[in-house]
Amino acid sequence: MKYKRLGSSGMKVSGLGLGTNSFGKRADENASARILHYAIDSGITFVDTANIYAQTESERIIGNALVGRRQQVVLATKAGLVKGQGPNDRGSSRYHLMLELEQSLKRLQTDYVDLYQIHTFDPETPLEETLRALDDMVRSGKVRYIGASNYAAWELMKAIGVSEKWGLNRFVSTQTSYSLADRTPEQELVACCQDQGVGIIPYFPLAGGILTGKYTSSAVVPAGSRAEKDDHIKRFINETTLPLVEHVRSFASDLGCSPSALSLAWLMHQQAVSTVIVGATSVEQLEANCRSVELNLDSSTLQALDAISDHFKYGKPLAVYRLPK
């Protein structure tokens, strides 16, 4: 496994991280525990979850599976998206964040999280309130570092400015949809992060499974695939993405690797990227994706991948999660 600093912080994270959105949903507790233990045994240290994943089941499962192994991972969770029906069951107010942190700590069976992330920008809460609450969490020892998620470049830059103005802990990372099929962060966010020392943590690194190479048509999808049951994923399979998939499949064949491994490796070679979170519903799936860490892509391969995906810098991102108005 390879390790990089998380942004400009002193903490190092594995180049490949484990996303746990499937825990308690598409992977039951036993399967999830096996996946997590395999990840740790393979050198993966970064484990990412959120208070809303599988209606809190993801955090609970991770807490059970990490008993006796907590110190072996950099544990990250999030809060801020809609958690319930109440007026304070969302957003990044001090009220909501303090409550959610305590509940996450109980489910995770730990007294601290290594990275606490705001799941999305909250236009109704002053950034100073959010950042002071996060600063208090760090000072209390319940949080080690803080990060953002689904922030636009200007939102992230404004947050950094507020932190610097008031001497508060600042975001060391941000999560965003980023892949060969979604290079929209390169319009503004990548440059912002490089300038400010913020590490990028891509989610949807395989574009919802499109870059695995298993989809060859928008009309017929493989039985048991995510696209078969999820129209949100199926919409990614179209006349724009399918030619890209074919190119990636061809490059991967020449290199003797899978399209998934190649797509993940391309992200790991991006300077602003600290760790790439990839989900799994089986140990075998994670084992296959771990091969991406071994791929050292030369400049000509990187340039070729850049060229075939260049137009994906423009247009709309594949995913952005925001608070409903």
Look up residue 267 and give its amino acid.
L
Cα separation, 118 vs 4, whole angstroms = 22
For the chain, the helix, strand and coil percentages under 3-state DSSP, each to the nearest 5: 45, 15, 40
Q: Is 53 a catalytic residue?
A: yes
According to the model, what pLDDT value does residue 221 have? Answer: 60
For residue 273, give the DSSP letter.
B
Six token digits for residue 225 = 């695939």
The pLDDT score that the predictor gives to residue 140 is 98
**pTM of the complete model beyond 0.85:** yes
**What DSSP string describes 6-37?**
STTSS-EEESEEEE-TTBTTTB-HHHHHHHHH
- Active-site residue, from 38, 53, 116, 215: 53
Task: Give me the residues paired with residue 115 across strands.
Answer: 76, 145
Strand-pair category, 143-149 with 173-177? parallel
Joined tokens for residue 321: 């999660």
Residue 136 DSSP one-character state: H
According to CATH, the superfamily of the domain at 11-171 is: NADP-dependent oxidoreductase domain (3.20.20.100)
Nearest to 168 by CA among 133, 124, 122: 133
Tokens of 75: 């544990």
Predicted local confidence at residue 215, as pLDDT: 77
- pLDDT at site 219: 47
| CA pair distance 127, 97, nearest whole angstrom | 13
Task: Tell me how far apart the alpha carbons of residues 287 and 261 are, in angstroms, rounded to a whole number.
Answer: 10
Per domain, the residue ranges of the chain are 11-171
Contact status, residue 203 vs residue 277, Cβ threshold 8 Å: yes
Gyration radius of the chain's alpha carbons:
19
List of the chain residues with pLDDT < 50:
219
